[in-house]
Structure 1
Amino acid sequence: MTGPLVRPAVPADYPAVARLTVAAYEADGQLKGENGYADVLADVAGRAAHGEVLVAADPATGQLLGSVTFVLPGSPYAELCGPGEAEFRMLAVDPAAQGRGTGAALVEACVARATELGCTALVICVRDGLAESAHHLYRRHGFTRTPRLDWTPLPDVHLLALRRPLTP
């Protein structure tokens, strides 16, 4: 089987992206006690207006398997990236499609996009306590912890920064 096809999301994809993103975050336990974050995740049109929403689709069926939001500094969705850097957020893989390389394909697409734009680094923050498989995915793709960028947007929500230097 070939890997998922990663492409820019189109408005017709937004309802499916919203569903799979919320489902993935719920499955990982990331929405417990979160007031309103599911609504932020489901606002795919808002994300697309301020960044690039990419989707991973099964090449045989076209079924959406995952998505990610890629942003640059100045976007309201940018939390960590500084000048010359890029960031990705809200990487989500449909719980029914995990283990097929979808997350890796989305990370690789973000690295390629940041490199194409001449960025010097790509950053992401992950919730402390997130499944080890997510941390392993990012380490495998060259991301390392950057504690000076860690932050806590809400009580009991601790976000750990990861960074990958890029060669434009």
Structure 2
Amino acid sequence: MDITIRQARLDEYDALGEITAQAYLGDGLLDYGESDPYLPELRDVAKRAAAAEVLVAVEDGRLLGGVTFVPAGGPMADIARSGEAEIRTLAVATEARGRGIGESLVRICVDHARATPGCVGVVLSTQRSMHTAHRIYERLGFTRTPDRDWNPVPHLDDITLLTYELTL
């Protein structure tokens, strides 16, 4: 696998936003499909990059996927506590799946967290149906933290996100 993982460039934001949106749509993760209110957030890589570190996986100049790494205390954090980094919006293009790209992106985030002064853990949220992602997290040593599960849309009871953490 000759894949490079690096910080996303401005000229890649639109393509990564579309990969992320299509991954969530294709996997049936958005309750309202193309009209889901979260879809514009998934496409807004510029917003994520302004507040966190957006990393991409690239092979021969082709974008394969990406992830958002939120350092400890970053404004994009949803569930991170003091001293924790957070992983968000992990997505791999459909045609690039099954090659270890998602796992490589998560590993880089863990490495970044270990290199962050004062960072003692990494946390993330995931949907119940993201079974492939769950296997990646568990293989890398993340454990489920049901006491931290949460609902990003409180008026909709059926959207509870599962949480995982890794102690560094």
State the TM-score, normalized to the length of structure 1: 0.92
Q: Which residue of 2 aligns with 1:12?
A: 11
The verdict on how the C-alpha distance between 1:48 and 1:22 changes in structure 2, with shifts beyond 3 A counting, is: same
Quote the Cα distance in structure 2 between the aligned partners of 1:122 and 1:8. Answer: 19
The answer (yes or no) to whether the contact 1:72–1:81 under 8 Å persists in 2 is no
Match of 2:77 in 1: 78
Cα displacement string for residues 73-99 of structure 1 (whole angstroms, at most 9, x for unaligned residues): 443421111111100100000011101
Structure-2 separation of matches of 1:3 and 1:37 = 33
**Which amino acid counterpart does residue 167 of structure 2 have in structure 1?**
P
Is it true that 1:22 corresponds to 2:24 in the alignment?
no
Q: CA deviation at 1:33?
A: 2.0
Change in Cα spacing, 1:140 to 1:3, as seen in structure 2 (3 Å) is farther
Aligned to 1:39: 40
Which amino acid letter does the alignment assign opposite residue 165 of structure 2?
Answer: R
> For 1:105 and 1:3, how far apart are their aligned partners in 2?
12
Q: Secondary structure at the match of 1:49?
A: helix
Distance 1:43 1:146 in 2: 28
1:121 matched to 2:121? The reply is: yes
Residue of structure 2 equivalent to 1:105 = 104
**Alignment-mate amino acid for residue 109 of structure 1:** I
- 1:134-145 equivalences under 5 Å are 134-145=133-144
Flag structure 2 segments of 5+ consecutive residues without an equivalent.
none
Amino acid at match of 2:24: Y
Tell me the matched-pair count.
162
What residue is the counterpart of 1:63 in the other structure?
A: 62
Give the RMSD, CA atoms, in angstroms: 1.3
What is the alpha-carbon distance in structure 1 between the residues aligned to residue 135 and residue 144 of structure 2?
12
Q: Classify the secondary structure of the residue corresponding to 1:158.
A: coil
- CA deviation vs aligned residue, 1:89-121 (integer Å, no higher than 9, x gap): 000000111011110110010000000003100
Structure 1 unmatched ranges of 5 or more: none
Q: How does the TM-score come out when normalised to structure 2?
A: 0.92
Letter of the 1:127 partner, please give it.
Q
| d(CA) in 2 for partners of 1:141, 1:51 | 22
Would you say the 8 A contact 1:57–1:66 is kept in 2? Answer: yes
- The answer to whether the Cα contact below 8 Å between 1:81 and 1:87 also exists between their aligned partners in 2 is yes
Q: Is the 8 A contact 2:142 2:165 kept in 1?
A: yes
Percent same amino acid at aligned positions? Answer: 44
